[in-house]
Each structure stands twice: as C-alpha cells, then as structure tokens.
Amino acid sequence: MRKVYLDHAATTPLLPEVREAMLPYLGELFGNPSCLHDWGDAAREALDTAREQVARLIGASAEEIVFTGSGTESNNFAVKGLALAQQGKGKHIIVSSIEHFSVLHSAKTLEKWGFELTEVPVDKHGTVDPDEVRRQIRKDTVLISIMYANGEVGTIQPTQEIARVAKENNIPFHTDAIASIGTIPVDVKELGADVLSLAGNQFYGPKGVGALYIRKGVRIMPLLDGGIQEEGRRAGTENIPAIAGLGKAAELARENMAAHVKHLSRLRNRLLAGLPARIEHMVLTGHPENRLPGNASFCVEFIEGEGMLMLLNSQGVAVTSGSACTSRALKASHVLLAMGLPHALAQGSVLFTFGIDNSEEDVDYVIEVMPPIVERLRQMSPLYAKFSKKGKGGA
C-alpha cells in the first residue's frame, strides 16, 4: 500500500545530511562544551557552528541565539521570561486567542502569578488585527506575544505591523515562529521582533531542540537556574547532537528555501483545487491566500475528524484533525472555535501538511481515496441524514 505522510505540522522527518551532522556527537565527540580540554573544545566548536547557522537562517547575530530543549520551552522562556523581567514596570500582557498552548498556557500561568491577560480575537480567517492589538495596549503592558503563522490553519499574521505597534509603544514583542522558521523566509531585523521562537523538528531537524532569538539588549529572566551555559540564559549541559542537527537543518533550509516554498505551494494548491471539487460541503479553514505554503486545512461537514483520520490511515495516509475526539483533552481546537466555527463544523476538521518528500502522486492519491471515506462516514451520520431530509438547500 502507498504510504503518504501529510502531517509535517506535527513533525518532519530527519534529513540524512542532518543525521550525518549529528552522529559524531553521539560517538567519540561526546564532550561537554563547558570543559577546557580537547573533548570540550570539539563540543564547543559544534555549538558555535550551529549558533552561526541558526542565526544566519533568520538574519540574527550568533550571540542573539539561545538553544533550548524544544519549541515549547522557547515559548515558555519567552513569555514568562520577558514578563517577569519587566514586572517592575507593569503586569499586563497581550496574546492572541489562537496561540499555541505553550504560549497561551504560559500566559495563563502568569495570570495566576498576578499578571493581567488580554487575548485579542481573530477574524474568520484566523488573522489578528494590528489595530485591535493597539487598542488593547495599556500603560502597564509589558509584553505582546503574537504568533508569526498558525500551524493548524496556516494563516500568516501581519506580524511586521504588530511588531511596529509594539515598538511605537515601547513594549517587548515576542513571536512564536515555530511553524514558520525553516519553511518560509523570516528576517528578524526586517520583522522588528525582539524575541522569536523556533524549533528543529519543524524543518527536518531533530526533536528535543529549539532556539530563542533574543535581540541584543532585551531583558529576559531565565527559566532554568544552574550553570552559566548559554551566557547564563539557559542552564544545563547542552544537547550537542541535537544542536548540531538543528544547525545543519537551518543551513539546508536556508539554501533550499525558495525551491521548497515553490514545491510545497504547488502540492498544496493541487489539493485545494482537487479535493473540495470532489467533496461537497468541505470548506477551507484559515486565510485563502496568506497561508503557510504546505498547509491545507479543511472542515468537512456532517462528519467527525477522527473517523476520517483513521480511515485515511487505513489507506496509508497520515493526517491530523482539530476535532474534540482526536484531542486527548477531548476539546475541539481552540483555533477553529476562535475563528467562529460552530462546534459541529470544527468536529469535521482535517489537516494536511505537506513536506519536501511529498509528490504530486501523493496529492492525487489523497484526492482518489478521500471522497469514498467521507461518503462512508456521511452514510453513518445522523447529522447528514437530517440535512438530506431537509433538502439540499437547507444547510
């Protein structure tokens, strides 16, 4: 059976060149970069190289990059670290309602610690209005954190404008760019972000490693206390193999960016053109144009996402869903609900995210196997039965 992996938003495979770059540090080059002997020197060299590679990918200087243990850690560090460093000035923070849980839940933790939180809404396409951010700013606002692009629905935010609003008001601005970095070009200087999160497993690097860009001069409180690794901003012996892999992945992403964007966009557009044309009552979620190149997110009416996911999996196709049934917490995607989708429709969420190894044949295979799956689930669905009885005009 054909195997088609279309869940690159969850994680990407490791590129062979990246694995090669990691291997020496899983072998004889096992040293600790804090040490002053040859073993330490080799590890330190790997660390320095990776820092340069990551910095180059986003237009930063090497000393502005701090390595972390994941994208989630980067976001926790950014949100909590920036807010805590500024708490003498005020205790109000602004995030959007569609942030990843590593930002949203960090913000909620800050709320428990005495901060006040404003969640700015999004429109039906999942876009934040920079003017709404401006309206929510108060004298005591000490942090604005709005994601660069949403991995679930693909919508790219007007981040540059939001960064400008923050700058005009002299408020530190963090952007969670985990779904974007390595996939689309982002230059931190052009963007005007003070702090930016990224993660290796989103662009063919290893899991268990992330990074935070912290613009020179920005004050941030470390999450982890201990030694003075990462200039005292992130204690703990560095995960050298993973960091070396992240660096290599960053270098490759930068070299191949334009070709990858083109490839992913072509596959995505083929699916967008082919699938809803064959499945009635299937709607695109997220922004129609302004979206991540590999992201095709839909809601299919009258059926539930987990059933679709399982039947697609039985045909060798790996996807994900934002339905309540597929989440461990059994809650429908907060992103889809924030965009104003009714619960029943959000339940029919299905997300295809393409990667560089996918082909047009993969897309055509999905277009072939998906319609009978939807039809089969609809034949089982009481909602579809009701809809059919009401007459096709009564949706």
Partner 1 sequence: MPIYSEKVMEHFMNPRNVGEIENPDGVGEIGNPVCGDMMTFYIKVKDNRLEDVKFKTFGCGAAIAVSSMVSEMAMGKTLDEAREITPKRVADELEGLPKNKFHCSNLGAQALNKAIDDYLEKQAKGGKK
Q: Which of 347, 349, 353, 358 binds partner 1 (CB under 8 A)?
A: 347
**How many residues would you count in the chain?**
395
Q: Kindly state whether residue 328 participates in binding partner 1, applying the rule CB under 8 A.
A: yes
Q: How many residues bind partner 1 (CB under 8 A)?
A: 24
- Rounded to 5 degrees, φ, ψ at 143 are -160, 135
**Contact yes or no for 106/343 (Cβ under 8 A):** no
**Residue 106 beta carbon to partner 1: minimum distance, rounded to whole angstroms:** 24
Q: Which of 75, 86, 323, 333 binds partner 1 (CB under 8 A)?
A: 323
Q: Kindly state whether residue 224 participates in binding partner 1, applying the rule CB under 8 A.
A: no
The residue annotated as part of the active site, out of 23, 273, 325, 380, is 325
**Residue 298 beta carbon to partner 1: minimum distance, rounded to whole angstroms:** 17
Q: Kindly state whether residue 391 participates in binding partner 1, applying the rule CB under 8 A.
A: no
Cα–Cα distance between 328 and 200 in angstroms, integer?
24
Please identify, using beta-carbon distances, which residue of 359 and 379 lies nearer to partner 1: 379
**Residue 314 beta carbon to partner 1: minimum distance, rounded to whole angstroms:** 7
Cβ-proximal residues to 162 (8 Å cutoff; 6+ apart), any chain: 128, 130, 133, 144, 146, 173
Q: Which of 314, 359, 360, 368 binds partner 1 (CB under 8 A)?
A: 314
Please identify, using beta-carbon distances, which residue of 261 and 344 lies nearer to partner 1: 344
Cβ-proximal residues to 391 (8 Å cutoff; 6+ apart), any chain: none
Q: Kindly state whether residue 333 participates in binding partner 1, applying the rule CB under 8 A.
A: no
Q: Kindly state whether residue 383 participates in binding partner 1, applying the rule CB under 8 A.
A: yes
Instruction: Give 318's strand partners.
Output: 5
DSSP state of 149: B
Segment 54 to 93, residues that bind partner 1, using CB under 8 A? none
Cα–Cα distance between 68 and 236 in angstroms, integer?
10
**Contact yes or no for 273/76 (Cβ under 8 A):** no
Q: Kindly state whether residue 326 participates in binding partner 1, applying the rule CB under 8 A.
A: yes
Cα–Cα distance between 11 and 82 in angstroms, integer?
27
Could you tell me the two tokens for 193?
Answer: 């972000």
Q: Which stretch binds partner 1 (CB under 8 A): 26-34, 120-128, 201-209, 373-381?
A: 373-381
Closest CA to 27 of 43, 51, 41, 44: 43
Q: Which stretch binds partner 1 (CB under 8 A): 80-88, 130-138, 267-275, 381-389?
A: 381-389
Could you tell me the two tokens for 144?
Answer: 């604005």
Cα–Cα distance between 68 and 51 in angstroms, integer?
12
Segment 278 to 307, residues that bind partner 1, using CB under 8 A? 302-304, 306-307
Could you tell me the two tokens for 12?
Answer: 């990407």
Cα–Cα distance between 71 and 69 in angstroms, integer?
7
Q: Kindly state whether residue 34 participates in binding partner 1, applying the rule CB under 8 A.
A: no
**Residue 325 catalytic?**
yes
Q: Kindly state whether residue 310 participates in binding partner 1, applying the rule CB under 8 A.
A: yes
**Residue 354 beta carbon to partner 1: minimum distance, rounded to whole angstroms:** 25
Cα–Cα distance between 251 and 200 in angstroms, integer?
12
**Residue 347 beta carbon to partner 1: minimum distance, rounded to whole angstroms:** 6
Cα–Cα distance between 331 and 319 in angstroms, integer?
18
Q: Kindly state whether residue 330 participates in binding partner 1, applying the rule CB under 8 A.
A: yes
**Residue 191 beta carbon to partner 1: minimum distance, rounded to whole angstroms:** 38
Q: Which of 273, 283, 385, 395 binds partner 1 (CB under 8 A)?
A: 385
Q: Which stretch binds partner 1 (CB under 8 A): 32-40, 182-190, 261-269, 327-335?
A: 327-335
Q: Kindly state whether residue 1 participates in binding partner 1, applying the rule CB under 8 A.
A: no
Largest CA distance in the chain: 78
**Residue 325 beta carbon to partner 1: minimum distance, rounded to whole angstroms:** 3
Q: Which of 325, 340, 368, 395 binds partner 1 (CB under 8 A)?
A: 325
DSSP letters spanning 39-96: HHHHHHHHHHHHHHHHHHHHT--GGGEEEES-HHHHHHHHHHHHHHHHTTT--EEEEE
Residues in contact with partner 1 by the rule CB under 8 A: 302-304, 306-307, 310, 314, 323-326, 328, 330, 332, 342-344, 347, 379-383, 385
Active site amino acids: 325
